[in-house]
């Protein structure tokens, strides 16, 4: 497994992973364009990928402009191998090196993602969008 910063050349494979998920699926894959990915990776924040045999199997992207986790997704064939936990650690360590502002994310209720975030110490602070749970991570809780 190789963990590294994402770059524009990764976007095609990032989109494949994003559209392979079984939960938190996009209602319309066109809602997240390659241009969006490019902006979040290179302008608004930063992204990371996990590669196995030169294939991207997971990725994470944080948005410094809105203090938001824009994406953390794994190819379902590679779940339960610690990849999500490692991507989250890399991303949040970097984020909290940039700012001490809390970071938030939204995810669908009753999903493995919801369980993952709760186990990782995220605090539920309300709802977001179309019935998603809104979670927040503070600098203090992350550094504990």
List pLDDT tens digits, range 78-117. 989 999 999 999 999 999 999 999 999 999 999 989 999 9
Q: Is residue 111 part of a domain?
A: no
Q: Is residue 27 part of a domain?
A: yes
Report the percentage of the chain scoring pLDDT > 90.
Answer: 79
Number of domains making up the chain = 1
| Distance from C-alpha of 141 to C-alpha of 97, rounded to nearest angstrom | 14
Q: Is residue 67 part of a domain?
A: yes
Domain that holds residue 10: 2-101
43, with CB counted inside 10 A (0-12, 13-18, 19+), is exposed
Q: What angle do CA 10, 88, 135 make, to 5 degrees?
A: 115
pLDDT, tens digit, 9 for 90 and up, residues 54-71: 999 999 999 999 999 999
């Amino acid at each position: 497994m190789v963990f590294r910063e994402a770059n524009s050349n990764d976007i095609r494979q990032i989109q494949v992973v994003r559209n392979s998920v079984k939960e938190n699926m996009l209602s319309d894959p066109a809602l997240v364009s390659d241009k969006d990915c490019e902006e979040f990776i290179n302008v608004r924040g930063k992204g990371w990928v996990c590669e196995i045999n030169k294939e991207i199997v997971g990725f994470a992207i944080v948005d410094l402009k809105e203090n938001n986790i824009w994406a953390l997704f794994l190819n379902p064939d590679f779940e339960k191998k610690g990849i999500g936990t490692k991507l989250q650690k890399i991303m949040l360590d970097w984020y909290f090196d940039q700012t001490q502002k809390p970071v938030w994310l939204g995810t669908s209720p009753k999903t493995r993602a919801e369980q993952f975030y709760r186990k990782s110490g995220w605090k539920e602070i309300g709802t977001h969008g179309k019935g998603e749970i809104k979670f927040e991570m503070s600098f203090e809780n992350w550094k504990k």
